Structure 1
Amino acid sequence: MRIGVVVNPIAGLGGRVGLKGTDGKVAEARARGAEPRAPDRARRALAELASRAPDATLFTWGAPMGAEAVREAGFDPAVLGTPDGDDTTAADTHRAVRAFVEHDVDLVLFVGGDGTAADVAEALSTPNANSDPDSKTPMLGVPAGVKVYSSVFAVSPEDAAVVAATFTRVEEREVMDIDEDEYRAGEVHPELRAVAWVPVAEDLQSSKQTGGGSVEALAEGVAQGTREGVTYVLGPGSTVGAVKRALGFEGSPLGVDLWRDGEVLVRDGSEAEILDALGEENVVVVSPIGGQGFVFGRGNPQLSPAVIRQCDVQVVASRSKLDDIGVLRVDTDDPDLDEDLRGWTRVRVGRVEQRMMEIV
């Protein structure tokens, strides 16, 4: 098997510092102390790939776009080029992917978010002088961005390696992206950017969908059940937004807000701001993403492992959303925490009603 590996080293950089994305915000993210997320996600995927397909032939791009992570996993890759400058760009991704196609790879394994997925898909759709115009080179994403709306990603880095090592057929799937400035303003309008060939496997996630059904009753139930002295960490999304309104304030629609004893402690907080405001007893309230089922790891990186470990977790969702997703998922960047969170949990679906759901 021949696999081309490319890493977007700045993917997800703005997540935990509250920027809800990295487009146009790299300098600000770094100024806020953001730590790269993508390199570690790449190492996890490649370590699993080394155990599943140790004889695979890997092609990659120079540091920080893959070479280091591939070598750390024990492979001896062919490095086909290097980035043009210190700060990598979409053009670097395009060059890498086109070089992979020229070397007849069976799969392009990329690490990034929706923007990276769009760049990879664009490069794959651009004919090369030395490539077969009818080629269907597939792509598969290791999720590392803040927002992951496309259906070309595996659920986790390890799942990406399993899919890469075992897939036998491909199908067309959608590459979606959103305008991050609109996203920061609370507007979410996913746009179809491309249709790409992707390995078929159960571990691939679906595109995000909107869950239906009224959530007013469950929001009132959460509000009525709040306890004195407890800090409530309220995640993003419309369902938890209804909880915020039931508590008497209009929260940040795509950010994390903290509330205790009738007072809003933090609005649209970063990881550091959330940690600073936590008390002795804390509850994080989250709702799964429709169509995917993620409660942690998609759209809420401010809720980091350090935050989650200091909180009890309360999941809320409409019945229709739960019917659609079937199971819940987590991908916190901490495999040990992911394992601790897995199992059966109660999800509030009404004022008092709850449903048991499995986190897998």
Structure 2
Amino acid sequence: MFKIGLIINPLAGLGGTVALKGSDGMAEQARALGAEPRALQRSSLALAELVALKDHVRIYTVAGDMGETVCRTLGLPFEICYRPGNPTTAGDTHQAVPLLVQRGIDLLLFAGGDGTARDICAEVPEHLCVLGIPAGVKIHSGVYGVTPAGTGRLLARLVRGEPVSLMAAEVMDIDEAAFREGRVRARRYGEMLIPGELSYVQAVKVAGKESAELVLTDIADDIIERMDDDTWYIMGSGTTVAAVMERLGLENTLLGVDLVYRKRLVVSDLDARSLYDQIRDKQCKLVITLIGGQGHIFGRGNQQLSPEVIKAVGRDNIWLLATKAKLNSLHGRPLRVDTNDPGLDRELGGLMRVITGYHDEVLVRVANPEDEAE
């Protein structure tokens, strides 16, 4: 029997359709503007995936719209562990989590947005796996499924006992008041353990320009922390690498290749020959990104990174950067390499680490079609 804790924030997402940029403390105003709750409907989409598995699950939840209503409607087996006030508040979530944990649940499922994730994160033990149903206005955190149905499918895999890896994901939230005034103030509130399935779980902070900036900052901070004073860094083209240069306070050639040593810019916009002459006898790291939608690492807009340069650096010294949104845009396709050296292309094949955030990496396959067919 797979034991699931369930908490639904029935007010989550209420302010979205009426352009309130969030629902925190805005429920009455949202309703006055004609907003309708959607958290229960989105929770139903996720939990519907468990109906066929109901003999194998037991749900421990909260009375009323914080969980009971959806379970009762779908005919899922449940037990009420907490009765909230009316209207419900964040305090109800804080009180309910420990009571559900006491029941020995295998996973805590919750519906809401970043505010709800913050409330859950404040109470849940580090060892417990959680999974969020996206129902809020602000969903920058990496603890939510890409869709309600996707969340449900991943949950069904867990119930069926299929092997699923685990990973730590960040809980992020922004200041709604500042956001409504056009200013983005983001803060990291911690991490929670989630099923680490990239096809089902969304990337951290990928919705909107301000979110992309946040995740690029995370990636840049990770790279800068890794840098040492004995290594030369070849900085490739693209906005992801540009974010690292910006964080270092260095000028950047967006569509070119720069060379950095001891966190100082040495040479800008190098061509292939000049770059090779600069690094052939040095300890180097190559910092690059991939092309979104295509997945090319080499051979598309960065021909300055010639086969000679790549061989001089070595495969193990390539730092590949990408947001999870960019990886998701590949829809499971492998990364591609087109160095104009077929032998090198094959050597670059296989699993490669991709830095996707601060202390956050995933393994992605590098393979060209011609090599896959062999």
TM-score, L = length of structure 2: 0.54
Which residue matches 2:182?
186
Q: Do the aligned residues in 1 keep the contact of 2:5 with 2:61 (CA within 8 Å)?
A: yes
Q: Does 1:98 align with 2:98?
A: yes
Q: Which amino acid aligns with 1:20?
A: K
Which residue matches 1:58?
59
Alignment counterpart, residue 138 of structure 2, candidates 147, 159, 177? 147
Residues 318-333 of structure 1: matches in 2 within 5 Å?
Answer: 324-327=326-329
Change (3 A) 1:200 1:211: closer
Q: Which amino acid aligns with 2:326?
A: D
Which residue matches 1:25?
26
Q: Do the aligned residues in 2 keep the contact of 1:141 with 1:160 (CA within 8 Å)?
A: yes
Change (3 A) 1:139 1:211: closer
CA distance in 2, matches of 1:29, 1:64: 18
CA distance in 1, matches of 2:324, 2:104: 42
**Deviation, structure 1 residue 52:** 4.8
Which residue matches 2:156?
165
Which residue matches 1:115?
115
SS at match of 1:117: helix
Q: Which amino acid aligns with 1:113?
A: G
CA distance in 2, matches of 1:49, 1:35: 26
Q: Do the aligned residues in 1 keep the contact of 2:165 with 2:195 (CA within 8 Å)?
A: yes
CA distance in 2, matches of 1:6, 1:185: 31
Q: Does 1:9 align with 2:10?
A: yes
Change (3 A) 1:83 1:171: same
Map Cα deviations across residues 282-320 of structure 1 (whole Å, 9 max, x no partner). Answer: xxxxxxxxxx99xxxxxxxxxxxxxxxxxxxxxxxxxx9
Aligned residues: 214
Percent identical across equivalent pairs? 39
Hey, which of these two has a bigger chunk of helix by percent?
Answer: 2
SS at match of 1:205: coil
CA distance in 2, matches of 1:182, 1:79: 38
CA distance in 2, matches of 1:154, 1:136: 19
**Deviation, structure 1 residue 76:** 2.3
SS at match of 1:64: helix
Larger gyration radius, structure 1 or structure 2: 2
**Deviation, structure 1 residue 195:** 0.9
Kindly indicate whether structure 1 or structure 2 has the higher relative contact order, using CA contacts under 8 Å at least 6 residues apart. 1
Residues 331-346 of structure 1: matches in 2 within 5 Å?
Answer: none
Q: Do the aligned residues in 2 keep the contact of 1:140 with 1:153 (CA within 8 Å)?
A: yes
Q: Which amino acid aligns with 1:22?
A: S
Superposition CA RMSD, Å: 2.5
Which residue matches 2:47?
46
CA distance in 2, matches of 1:3, 1:191: 29
**Deviation, structure 1 residue 189:** 2.5
SS at match of 1:80: strand
Change (3 A) 1:139 1:321: closer
Change (3 A) 1:42 1:328: farther
Change (3 A) 1:188 1:71: same
Q: Do the aligned residues in 2 keep the contact of 1:149 with 1:190 (CA within 8 Å)?
A: no
CA distance in 2, matches of 1:180, 1:323: 23
Moved over 3 A (4+): 209-212, 320-323
Map Cα deviations across residues 240-282 of structure 1 (whole Å, 9 max, x no partner). Answer: xxxxxxxxxxxxxxxxxxxxxxxxxxxxxxxxxxxxxxxxxxx
Map Cα deviations across residues 76-102 of structure 1 (whole Å, 9 max, x no partner). Answer: 200111102x11111111122111110
**Deviation, structure 1 residue 324:** 2.7
Q: Which amino acid aligns with 1:107?
A: L
Residues 211-290 of structure 1: matches in 2 within 5 Å?
Answer: none
Which residue matches 2:202?
205
CA distance in 2, matches of 1:71, 1:16: 27
CA distance in 2, matches of 1:326, 1:42: 23
Q: Which amino acid aligns with 2:192?
A: A
Q: Do the aligned residues in 1 keep the contact of 2:114 with 2:140 (CA within 8 Å)?
A: yes
CA distance in 1, matches of 2:110, 2:40: 11
Alignment counterpart, residue 127 of structure 2, candidates 136, 144, 147? 136
CA distance in 1, matches of 2:203, 2:324: 15
SS at match of 1:148: coil
SS at match of 2:191: strand
CA distance in 1, matches of 2:174, 2:49: 31
Which residue matches 1:72?
73
Q: Do the aligned residues in 1 keep the contact of 2:21 with 2:176 (CA within 8 Å)?
A: yes
CA distance in 2, matches of 1:21, 1:171: 27
SS at match of 2:168: strand
Q: Do the aligned residues in 1 keep the contact of 2:203 with 2:325 (CA within 8 Å)?
A: no
- Structure 1 unaligned runs (5+)? 126-134, 213-291, 294-319, 330-360
CA distance in 2, matches of 1:195, 1:77: 28
CA distance in 2, matches of 1:99, 1:322: 34
- Structure 2 unaligned runs (5+)? 159-163, 214-291, 294-321, 332-374
Change (3 A) 1:138 1:322: closer
CA distance in 1, matches of 2:201, 2:19: 27
